[in-house]
Structure 1
Amino acid sequence: MEKITQQSKLKIWGLKTKASFLILFGAILYVAQVQAQTFSYTGTVQSVTLAAGSYQIEMWGADGGDALKGTGGKGGYSTGTLVVAASTTYYIYVGGKGSTVTSSTPGGWNGGGGCLGSFSTGYNGGTGGGGTDIRTTQNTTYADRIIVAGGGGGGTGYSTYTGNGGNGGGATGSNGGSSRGVTYAGGGGSQTAGGTSATGGIPSYSSAGALGTGGNYTGTLGGTAGGGGYYGGGSGHWGGASGGGSSYVGGVTGGVTIQFGQTGFVSNPDTTGNGRVTISNSPLSTSETSIKNDMNIYPNPTTDFLNITKVSDKATYKIYSVAGQLVSRGNVNVGIINVSALTKGTYMIVIEDKGKDLFKSKFIKN
């Protein structure tokens, strides 16, 4: 038998160590590829460089400021798929929560309207929450935004009147509330204009929303300010809350924007009321090519059912959320899968038979 020298033992040990390192490195690399990136509120611009591929974006606008006589509106939720053709740097603006006014008070960072007049004790209004967005350039003019989640409007703080701030999000943000009358509340921002300002009381104290920014309030006695967003909400006046900012999903694929309280709204994981952004490339960045090329799904987008062509009755399916969570599974029943219980958004479906993947594809649930 050939004698194994100490040098040979060291060589064998080195090869085993190298192999173990490569396996470990591969596992770490795989985890890094599928792990979601989270961007929380910092009050400054953040950036990320994304390699070519498809990425699922989820974001939330910031809440409006609570007030003496009403709560701030909730920030909106926006989601969609960002397709990156080549390595690109994106700039992330995460909105800050609005404040309860105790003096001349600016709004939440990134477009929340402020209460900038003199303060009257016992009339604490709320400032607007900032919008959250992603831009292709770093700028202060709200240009080049590809997806936006609107911020909530501030609540009212005047006398015995009550009114909650309008919720941000959706194609049009919600109007502010007012027990005094609608003319004292600010309107929600839309896709083309800022929300209207209050016309009751002294109209010059209130201002309409604008591109990216909520309307400011410059008077006294419990005025409120609008939420930021694609277009910001208008500010309310004495006894009226402010409007929420609108969202925008025109720069992503399959974009959806939903207000708090509407079907399909996803709660913000940040419970402080600040905005948030998550970017994930798992599992939706995986190949969308059918393994069995004659198989297909339709309609896509869908609201209730997916039809699967040329599939065995013995096949099973799994549906994953944008975060990679398994949300539904079962047997393919005569080529039809009921997806009506899913919330609005983008999903990955995988069709299997005898433990082997036959087909995988993204689909959008409306």
Structure 2
Amino acid sequence: MSRFRNNLYTVEAIVFRDHAHRYIRSDDGTLFSNDRKTKILVADLPEWYVYGRYHKRFGYMSTKGITDLRYVPNKFTNHYLKDDSLYVAYGGKIEDAPLPNTGAFYDRLIGYDDIVWGGEIISVLRGAQIYSNYDISSIVEQLKEKKEWLVNEYPDEFGPERWDFDVDACFSEPFDNGHPQKYYAITLDNYFTPSIVSSSKRYYGTLQEIESFIDSLDQDQFSETVNAFRSFKKGKKAVTHHVAYAEKPLLEPVTLISENYQSLKERSWDFINIWDCIYTMKLHTVFMDILLIKDGDEYIRCIKPKIYGFCYHSNAHAEDHWEPVHNAWGHPGIVLFDDRKEPTVLTSLFLPEKKFSDVKAGVDALYSEDISLDPVCEDIFADG
């Protein structure tokens, strides 16, 4: 039996607290079903669950097993899709409801399991076409008719010079189900060790990020790593290369638990290198993508920063001299420099920043401002 017994899993739930309805998220990155916590992560969901906003909650709706769809355009307001409805059935047919004798309000359709509104109508239609092999051509024609109706009824808002929505283009461009990208660990030599010692270090990224990193390497110096990645791209998953004089897997999938984005200003701190020398670091602004991933049995907070105004001071400098960070002695391709507009230091991959044994502590720590940028310094100064 499939563990995915519900057609909708949401990232957030709505609860009544302190005399008001409030949105909450789980403390361990898991999803909700009918506002009840599950053990399912976004990374667990099959591809036919499509991301969107459903019933005032962000989440993922299944588009597999759909047996009938009914699109009902709203022609009482000058909105496109926003007030329209798509009725979804996962078994049987959707039919018109019999008219009640009392004349009271009634549901005009029966046999449906869910309703979708707004832009998610397009997403669910595309998912149904791909994963349920459902013929959506008649509904696409209805969408075109609704567009023409708006143009004719509200020319000031929807005339050709003001609004041009291409219905056909919506169904011809590559489909994005809204799932987060999959992440991998790549094992490389650890440059933050004395030169007489060898060890390995894991970095993290999407396949696209890792490919950009691989392309930046010296193809001769890192030929084994480059060739192993090319083999991986061709479908050979169990590829290895030599790291710290030992054969190691090149790439291993990891599980994304949760993510966050953060910006901080005017930070300074002391970074201590492997020889206990102190570099005083400071920056003007840093923007960071932050992940909590599960790598084996460990939960790891990872950072991918973009740093402006990054400089350092040490005993080798005059007292009031700050040296801009414009070189790196760590693993090639990890720390990058962009001087096109203003000096910027960034990383090609996510750097492991802190480990947690408990997933709840890791999720909670995603929103902390107490995030160390020492991992960046490790790949800047290496063993120096």
- Fold shared per TM-score above 0.5: no
Query: Could you say which structure has the higher strand fraction?
Result: 2
Query: Could you say which structure has the higher helix fraction?
Result: 2
TM bracket, shorter-chain basis: under 0.3
Task: Determine which structure has more spread, i.e. the larger CA radius of gyration.
Answer: 2
TM-score (norm 2): 0.22
Ranked by relative contact order (alpha carbons within 8 Å, sequence separation 6 or more), the top structure is: 1
TM-score (norm 1): 0.22
